[in-house]
């Protein structure tokens, strides 16, 4: 598996990571625990070294799962987890961001215990807390790094000003935010800033929460325990309007003898050498399919075909419902 460095941090990871959230939450019923552990360990066997989780996934269950699965190979892998939601006093996508230093000091101990480790490779603030100066957050993580509890600091869905202020206190290794062929807003001000500061980029939902694989059509229904059922972009009407993204991707996939998922991931990898997407899945054959994207080379003509096919086209439907605006970051 090709390796990549996240910016100038020195943190080296596999070119494709594995987002573990869906094994415990968000897309329906949780996986059988033994099957999930087998899946994670099989991903390690195939060269994936970068695993993403968070205390809020479950909540807590996903960190426990990842910790158990990776304990035998702890020194061979990079574990990223996140803090920053008031889990005890709020629920679902309406959870309130909270990052007061005292709160972070409390919750990191729980994450370390669940992950069965004494250090976290990459510790993200999950969402910006508007009531806590980012300098206080960055200073707290700096203390953790000095104490050996954390090795690298990251932010998720943060805006340019916040990134710059945080980085001035404690250099950031990575920003994790949504980025894919159907959500490219990060290209305007975030990607240039990350390049300037030497910060890596970890796109979540690189396959559009499954849509860009071409496996989600207007006939599909989502259960109440699948968060896509509440996202405007996944209404049947918007799925029909957004089919153009899949059509363009499939056009390239056919010519490259590849799958739509592989093209969507290869496109991300082609944007910058410090971009490392973290597609999630509950199936081993999808892990293997995603790994195949690392050897799929999109040439200048392929990239131009994608750009021309999507020129002037905007995805229809917001990423989150109005009540969950905080999830979109700042």
pLDDT tens readout for residues 273-320: 999 999 999 999 999 999 999 999 999 999 999 999 999 999 999 998
| Residue among 311, 307, 266 at smallest CA distance from 290 | 266
Please say if the pLDDT value at position 329 is more than 80.
no
Residue 322: predicted pLDDT: 80
Please say if the pLDDT value at position 94 is more than 80.
no
Q: What are 126-163's pLDDT values in tens digits?
A: 999 999 999 999 999 999 999 999 999 999 999 999 99
Place of tokens 């199936």: 283
**Of all helices (H) and strands (E), which one includes residue 275?**
none
* Alpha-carbon gap, residue 138 to 168, rounded angstroms: 9
Number of neighbours of residue 273 by Cβ within 10 angstroms: 11
For 141, residues 6+ apart whose C-beta sits below 8 A from its C-beta are 104, 123, 150, 153, 170
The predicted model scores a pTM of 0.97
Please say if the pLDDT value at position 230 is more than 70.
yes
Structure tokens at 153: 């600091």
Residue 67: predicted pLDDT: 98
Residue 271: predicted pLDDT: 98
Structure tokens at 283: 């199936």
According to DSSP, the residues that pair with 12 across neighbouring strands are 5
Domains of the chain by start residue, with CATH:
3-211+271-296 (3.20.20.100)
Average pLDDT, the chain: 96
Residue 181: predicted pLDDT: 97
CA torsion 233-238-239-243 (nearest 10°) is -120
Q: What are 35-76's pLDDT values in tens digits?
A: 999 999 999 999 999 999 999 999 999 999 999 999 999 999
Longest dimension (CA), the chain: 54
* Alpha-carbon gap, residue 265 to 206, rounded angstroms: 7
b/e sequence 220-244, b meaning 16+ C-beta within 10 Å: eeeeeebbbebbebbbeebbebbee
What would the mean pLDDT of 192-219 be, rounded to a whole number? 96
Please say if the pLDDT value at position 246 is more than 70.
yes
CB 122 within 8 A of CB 80: yes
Residue 44: predicted pLDDT: 98
Residue 325: predicted pLDDT: 62
Residue 218: predicted pLDDT: 87
Residue 92: predicted pLDDT: 73
DSSP 208-255: GGGGGGT---TT----TTBGGGG-GGGSHHHHHHTHHHHHHHHHHHHH
Of the residues 27, 57, 124, 179, which is catalytic? 57
Q: Looking at 156-170, 191-205, 217-231, which range is the least confident one?
A: 217-231
Is 119 an annotated catalytic residue? no
Residue 330: predicted pLDDT: 61
CA 81 to chain centre: 11
Structure tokens at 291: 């790994």
Backbone φ, ψ for residue 210 (5° rounding) = 100, -20
Q: Looking at 113-117, 215-219, 313-317, which range is the least confident one?
A: 215-219
* Alpha-carbon gap, residue 2 to 47, rounded angstroms: 9
| Residue among 153, 193, 201 at smallest CA distance from 177 | 201
What would the mean pLDDT of 198-219 be, rounded to a whole number? 96
Q: What are 160-187's pLDDT values in tens digits?
A: 999 999 999 999 999 999 999 999 999 9
């Amino acid at each position: 598996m090709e390796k990549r460095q996240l910016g100038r941090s020195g943190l080296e990871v596999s070119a494709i990571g594995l987002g573990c959230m869906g094994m415990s939450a968000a897309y329906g019923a949780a996986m059988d625990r033994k099957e999930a552990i087998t899946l994670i360990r099989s991903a390690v066997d195939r060269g994936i070294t970068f695993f993403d989780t968070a205390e809020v996934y479950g909540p807590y269950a996903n960190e426990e799962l990842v910790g158990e699965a990776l304990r035998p190979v702890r020194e061979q892998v990079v574990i990223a987890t996140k803090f920053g939601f008031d889990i005890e006093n709020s629920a679902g996508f309406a959870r309130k961001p909270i990052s007061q230093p005292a709160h972070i000091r409390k919750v990191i101990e729980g994450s370390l215990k669940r992950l069965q480790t004494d250090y976290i490779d990459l510790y993200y603030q999950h969402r910006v807390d508007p009531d806590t100066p980012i300098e206080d957050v960055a200073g707290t993580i700096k203390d953790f790094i000095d104490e050996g509890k954390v090795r690298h600091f990251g932010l998720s869905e943060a805006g340019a000003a916040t990134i710059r202020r945080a980085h001035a206190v404690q250099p950031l290794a990575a920003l994790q935010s949504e980025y894919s062929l159907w959500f490219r807003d990060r290209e305007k001000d975030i990607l240039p800033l990350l390049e300037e500061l030497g910060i890596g980029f970890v796109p979540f939902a690189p396959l559009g929460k499954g849509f860009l694989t071409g496996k989600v059509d207007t006939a599909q229904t989502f259960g109440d325990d699948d968060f896509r059922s509440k996202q405007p972009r996944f209404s049947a009407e918007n799925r029909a309007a957004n089919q153009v993204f899949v059509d363009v991707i499939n056009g390239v996939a056919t010519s490259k003898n590849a799958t739509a998922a592989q093209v969507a991931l290869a496109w991300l990898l082609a944007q910058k050498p410090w971009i490392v997407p973290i597609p999630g899945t509950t199936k081993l054959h999808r892990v293997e399919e995603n790994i195949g994207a690392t050897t799929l080379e999109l040439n200048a003509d392929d990239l131009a075909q994608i750009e021309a096919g999507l020129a002037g086209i905007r995805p229809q439907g917001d990423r989150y419902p109005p009540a969950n605006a905080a999830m979109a970051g700042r």
